[in-house]
Chain A
Amino acid sequence: MTPPNGVASEAVSPAVARARVRGTTSMRSEAWRRFRKHRLASVGAAILVVMVIAVVAGPFVYRVPIDEIDFKAKLKAPSWAHPLGTDDLGQDLLARMLYGGRISLAVGVVAMLIAITAGTMIGAIAGQLGGSVDHVLMRFTDLFLSLPQLPLLLLLAYLFRDALKKALGAEMGVFMLMVVVIGGLRWMPVARLVRAQFLSLREKEFVEAARGLGAAPLRQVIRHILPNAVGPVIVAATIDVAAAILAESSLSFLGLGFPPDIPTWGRILFDAKDNLDFAPHWAIFPGTAIFLTVLSINYIGDGLRDALDPRKVLS
């Protein structure tokens, strides 16, 4: 942080002043304070927390089975018996949305983790080793960047779905396929980002100091470089969750994602789209859920960008 002397002429915000009095300005608390100042990001975070609690705890509280077929109650608009209405088989939509939301959100998070892990590793190796390794890895990244995403996603989902279903069971098989394929096509921007960070950080004095003190390359990377490269990666990770949720919904919406017995939000929308004229609620609820989730995550990403960017003036 800034040394205590020699900055007297700068305007110092109350929080920084308070922190200086206490003697500590933890990066984390500072970032948290800045994040809360971004009003829409805070609203987004609150909405997302509510959604996560709803899909995690909801099925325990709202104990209606997701596959109870009741033809007497088919395509019913929302009512007390069925708060979000029913579909063409009379299945309760709230129960299906709560259950499917778990999967939609889980796909987003796991696919993001895959993309971030792969991207960070490739970017770190390329940035740290440099030379021909860097060159080869970056050409590889470029190649992946010029692959057409959605057609390839569709193709992979289609080709490998049955084999994985057989090997791992319907739910787990399709889930693994979705996260690997979506994560496997989204690591490239992270790799580029991490590499750029490494190229600039590895020449900084503090890394040189660590090197001078005899830190092994691995320790330099893990203790000194990576923690400083983490800010932009967190922002990219947030946006990636939203993108992965959208990718899963698109695939399911096109009928090539999850099967009908695993009602993710995209899948419900796919089933609903041919009944728009008699049961608009069936499409509106899952669509709104996807939209709200993506919007909240994007706003959180925006807030994190403001909070984690060290070049931003403290205000």
Chain B
Amino acid sequence: MSKYLLRRVLIMIPVLAGISLVLFTVLALAPGDPFEELATNPNVPPEVRANLRHQFGLDDPIPIRYARWFTSMLKGDWGFSFVSRINVGTLILQRLPTTLWVLGLAQFLGLLVALPVGIYAAMRPYSLFDQIATTFAFVGFSLPTFFTGILFILFFSIYLDWLPFIYRADISATGWRWYWENARQAAMPVAVLGLAQGASMTRFVRSAMLEVIRLDYINTARAKGLTEKVTILKHAVRNALIPVVTLVALQIPGIFTGAVITEQIFRVPGIGSLLITSILANDTPVIMAITFVFSCLVVLFNLVADLLYGWLDPRISFR
């Protein structure tokens, strides 16, 4: 097991190097100069600009720049943001908690919907409940988050006027009031993301349950005289959830994608909206760092998915 883990972690390094190479090549091939913003700023005289370019090593050949960038990335030195003039690492760490908080809640909400609905639908396949649940899951899975977000704003903020549609990081209230305000403003982003997640997870849970429920050992459990509740919850669900756990872990990078859109709609000050503002402001170091963070998350969760799968299902052997 530890040998397997070590090998998997070692494999991650070339993968991450490959990803960073792709990202860097894209940026190096791009027609716009990342230092264009200095070029268009009239307060910067040409010789200063040339000096700066030299100082940042932008005139060096691309392979050398890449090697330098990748090593400093690994050392945790992610450079300075062109726009806000602070350390990229600090900037990302400022924004990350909000994103993780919203995403975590959304994932929790998704599971809260998907588990009972999926299990109950699989217990009575093709019943009315199952048909309604499957249809809703299909619709939810086809609804783009940007449209659900807009519909939520229209209904809950404009029509009912219940919830604020702009997320504020600086709520001045204290105590319970603070928690209440935060819950109110997080409700819509979390619901939009969580329901989208819940829809696709419901499909996973249902099909995984359907696979398990017709196996012989479930019949055995029933024949022993166990109640339906024990048969389903203790015998079927525990095995059915093994592939679901993997799928959920594999989906996490996809949720980050959804988060970029949701954060943009509700103006949540997270890492996704930071990415969009940096792209619009030509803030290359921040763009590179965020894209790289997203890549690391993809690779990391692939590993987590594999390990979880093996841990939950002893039939899988690590070689």
Chain B residue nearest to A159 (CB atoms) is B30
Chain A residue nearest to B260 (CB atoms) is A150
Residues of chain B within 8 A (CB-CB) of A216 are none
Residues of chain B within 8 A (CB-CB) of A246 are 144
Flag whether B86 is at the interface (Cβ < 8 A): no
Of the residues B22, B139, B144, B294, contact of A249 by C-beta under 8 Å: B144
Residues of chain B within 8 A (CB-CB) of A143 are 15, 18-19, 22
Alpha-carbon distance between A253 and B147 when the two chains are bound, in angstroms: 10
Alpha-carbon distance between A30 and B253 when the two chains are bound, in angstroms: 40
Flag whether A120 is at the interface (Cβ < 8 A): no
Alpha-carbon distance between A256 and B279 when the two chains are bound, in angstroms: 9
- For chain B, the count of residues having a C-beta within 8 Å of the partner chain is 43
Task: Report yes or no: B144 in contact with A290, Cβ–Cβ below 8 A.
Answer: yes
Question: Nearest Cβ distance between residue B279 and chain A, in whole angstroms?
Answer: 5
Task: Report yes or no: B30 in contact with A298, Cβ–Cβ below 8 A.
Answer: no
Task: Report yes or no: B142 in contact with A295, Cβ–Cβ below 8 A.
Answer: yes
Question: Nearest Cβ distance between residue B27 and chain A, in whole angstroms?
Answer: 7
Alpha-carbon distance between A270 and B177 when the two chains are bound, in angstroms: 34
Task: Report yes or no: A295 in contact with B146, Cβ–Cβ below 8 A.
Answer: no
Question: Nearest Cβ distance between residue B283 and chain A, in whole angstroms?
Answer: 11
Residues of chain B within 8 A (CB-CB) of A159 are 26-27, 30-32
Kindly specify which of B150-158, B168-176, B228-236 makes contact with the partner chain: B150-158
Known interface pairs A143-B22, A283-B154. Does A155 touch B287 (Cβ–Cβ under 8 Å)? yes
Task: Report yes or no: B141 in contact with A146, Cβ–Cβ below 8 A.
Answer: no
Kindly specify which of A1-9, A45-53, A106-114, A273-281 makes contact with the partner chain: A273-281
Flag whether A158 is at the interface (Cβ < 8 A): yes
Alpha-carbon distance between A262 and B265 when the two chains are bound, in angstroms: 22
Residues of chain A within 8 A (CB-CB) of B18 are 143
Question: Nearest Cβ distance between residue B257 and chain A, in whole angstroms?
Answer: 4
Task: Report yes or no: B15 in contact with A250, Cβ–Cβ below 8 A.
Answer: no
Of the residues A151, A162, A266, A299, contact of B138 by C-beta under 8 Å: A299
Of the residues B27, B30, B147, B257, contact of A148 by C-beta under 8 Å: B257
Chain A residue nearest to B291 (CB atoms) is A151
Task: Report yes or no: B279 in contact with A269, Cβ–Cβ below 8 A.
Answer: no
Task: Report yes or no: B150 in contact with A154, Cβ–Cβ below 8 A.
Answer: no
Task: Report yes or no: B154 in contact with A295, Cβ–Cβ below 8 A.
Answer: no
Flag whether A173 is at the interface (Cβ < 8 A): no
Task: Report yes or no: B144 in contact with A148, Cβ–Cβ below 8 A.
Answer: no
Question: Nearest Cβ distance between residue B124 and chain A, in whole angstroms?
Answer: 20
Alpha-carbon distance between A276 and B19 when the two chains are bound, in angstroms: 39
Alpha-carbon distance between A256 and B153 when the two chains are bound, in angstroms: 22
Of the residues A156, A250, A280, A295, contact of B261 by C-beta under 8 Å: A250
Alpha-carbon distance between A291 and B139 when the two chains are bound, in angstroms: 9
Question: Nearest Cβ distance between residue A249 and chain B, in whole angstroms?
Answer: 6
Task: Report yes or no: B144 in contact with A147, Cβ–Cβ below 8 A.
Answer: no
Of the residues A152, A269, A288, contact of B291 by C-beta under 8 Å: A152
Task: Report yes or no: A250 in contact with B146, Cβ–Cβ below 8 A.
Answer: yes
Flag whether B256 is at the interface (Cβ < 8 A): yes
Question: Nearest Cβ distance between residue B213 and chain A, in whole angstroms?
Answer: 20
Alpha-carbon distance between A171 and B32 when the two chains are bound, in angstroms: 20
Residues of chain A within 8 A (CB-CB) of B10 are none
Known interface pairs A146-B295, A162-B32, A298-B138. Does A250 touch B144 (Cβ–Cβ under 8 Å)? yes
Flag whether B312 is at the interface (Cβ < 8 A): no
Task: Report yes or no: A276 in contact with B158, Cβ–Cβ below 8 A.
Answer: yes
Flag whether B299 is at the interface (Cβ < 8 A): yes
Of the residues B19, B26, B27, B31, contact of A146 by C-beta under 8 Å: B19
Task: Report yes or no: B257 in contact with A149, Cβ–Cβ below 8 A.
Answer: yes
Task: Report yes or no: A254 in contact with B144, Cβ–Cβ below 8 A.
Answer: no
Task: Report yes or no: B290 in contact with A280, Cβ–Cβ below 8 A.
Answer: no
For the A-B complex with A148-B295, A283-B150, A288-B147 known, give 5 more contacts whose Cβ atoms are closer than 8 Å: A148-B297, A154-B260, A276-B158, A295-B142, A298-B142
10 cross-chain CB contacts under 8 A: A142-B15, A147-B19, A149-B257, A242-B142, A249-B144, A253-B264, A269-B147, A272-B150, A273-B150, A277-B158
Which residues of A pack against B, CB within 8 Å?
142-143, 146-152, 154-156, 158-160, 162-163, 242, 246, 249-250, 253-256, 266, 269, 272-273, 276-277, 280, 283-284, 287-288, 290-291, 294-295, 298-299, 302
Which residues of B pack against A, CB within 8 Å?
15, 18-19, 22-23, 26-27, 30-32, 138-139, 141-144, 146-147, 150-151, 153-154, 158, 253, 256-257, 260-261, 264-265, 275-276, 279-280, 287, 290-291, 294-295, 297-299, 302
Q: What are the 6 closest A-B residue pairs judged by CB atoms, nearest first?
A: A148-B294, A159-B30, A287-B147, A163-B31, A295-B142, A150-B257
